[in-house]
A and B are shown apart, each in its own frame.
Chain A
């Protein structure tokens, strides 16, 4: 399954004569929640939905592939597989039939992270459902981020908190894994718990962070901060783009 949006380069012909009108975008036919629409082929799913005249109220957030609000499932002609993608970063394809799933209903465990232990017993108490996993890997197949979702659920089953953190790090919590799981596990919530447990109990303490917090608290950056806050947008922007960027 292709995880990344595939951008189709326009055909190689380039007519350089200036009096020709600009070529119109080529169009593709897609089915948005069952209804046929003709949309530009270079559109993302999100742009295609808007092009079709609909306003997205719940299924859009950052529009940059980070927030996970625009989880979408789709099928393609002649292909039995259910594909998934974030509507903001997945391009439409000819014959694509799609539905947005802006929210996946589920119950999340309520806990005080200060009162937990980073081990399998915590997982067992808060998300006992992980032990229903049969390793079918459907969650991994359905992840628009290309995460090895099943591997981190398996890590949860044996209390390997560091592995949950490592493997689930890029999760945007779209919830598509939880929707497709035949064992009805809430994978992304388990990932959140694992990352919290790791951050609270297992992460190495950063000496640099402590030193920097002391600097901040001692007022070392107050003046610089005040001058930044007083700048207009143009000079802020200039400063931002001219900043030193580590290679």
Chain B
């Protein structure tokens, strides 16, 4: 099955490490992905306004592009893009009148949207299409001894109708990490919000969240945190500097995308990992385990 790959804007610049490690891992797993031509921003945040259909155009237009690429399956790595695209998809599937209104507005598109594209996240795709047994079989460098706290944040598991796993206690990332040979660490705040866009106007709120989340993971013995969202990554990693200002006892942890851990286990070159984009350097802990 061919998947249309939807990168999202951030994976093209500040989260290039997410994109490179995703594409490397998909290629290693033999999953055929091709970047969608003419994709646009997903809309960034799923609009909750009931009568404001214009904010649903961005995600739905991307689904039209999938059809134009002769595909019916879209894969994305960013959990924010995933959530926005999937929620819009579910919304128009349930509301044919809204979909008709939107298609009518988009008369400039040659292909109307009919709810006929499936939106996948890399995590659910690896679980359902590849299978963790096959993942293990493809591992060339097991992540032996690495203790990983898997942070889901909000958008992978909420709201329920687009969740890729159990809303209260998701395990898909833990199972993937286990398949890669690492040790998943359970911690209480794995589905806590990172503070999201409050990082723009109130970094202190995010500093508090980062303090709580990282401390919770540290207290359980985690050595590294895996995420699947560039905004979570920014708040948990880049905001550690601000966190230290508000909480002088803060120690911190390296934060990586789960795809970077996949790429390491699949034997990637170090340039794929783009460690230059990280705030807390992940290299020492990984090198300490002989992984890079």
Residues of B within 8 A of A140 (CB): 108
- Is B12 in contact with chain A by the CB < 8 A criterion? yes
CA A151 to CA B10, docked complex, whole Å? 16
Q: Are the C-beta atoms of A137 and B12 separated by less than 8 Å? A: no
Q: A120-B13, A158-B13 are in contact. Are A134 and B38 (CB under 8 A)?
A: no
- Is B40 in contact with chain A by the CB < 8 A criterion? yes
Q: Which of A1, A135, A160 makes the CB contact (< 8 A) with B43?
A: A135
B-to-A contact residues, CB < 8 Å:
9-10, 12-14, 38-41, 43, 54-55, 57-58, 61, 105-106, 108-109
CA A119 to CA B57, docked complex, whole Å? 26
CA A151 to CA B39, docked complex, whole Å? 8
Q: Are the C-beta atoms of B54 and A134 separated by less than 8 Å? A: yes
Q: A135-B61, A136-B54 are in contact. Are A159 and B12 (CB under 8 A)?
A: yes
Which B-chain residue is minimally distant from A141 (CB atoms)? B108
Residues of B within 8 A of A1 (CB): 108
- Is A133 in contact with chain B by the CB < 8 A criterion? yes
A-to-B contact residues, CB < 8 Å:
1, 119-120, 133-137, 140-141, 148, 150-151, 154, 157-160, 182
Which A-chain residue is minimally distant from B47 (CB atoms)? A134
Q: Are the C-beta atoms of A137 and B13 separated by less than 8 Å? A: no
Residues of A within 8 A of B12 (CB): 158-160
Q: Which of A120, A134, A141 makes the CB contact (< 8 A) with B58?
A: A134
Which A-chain residue is minimally distant from B7 (CB atoms)? A158
Q: Are the C-beta atoms of A157 and B41 separated by less than 8 Å? A: yes
CA A1 to CA B55, docked complex, whole Å? 24
CA A154 to CA B57, docked complex, whole Å? 13
CB distance from A144 to the nearest CB of B (A): 14
CA A140 to CA B105, docked complex, whole Å? 13
Residues of B within 8 A of A137 (CB): 57, 61, 106, 108-109
Q: Are the C-beta atoms of B9 and A135 separated by less than 8 Å? A: no
CB distance from A197 to the nearest CB of B (A): 14
Q: A140-B108, A157-B9 are in contact. Are A150 and B40 (CB under 8 A)?
A: yes
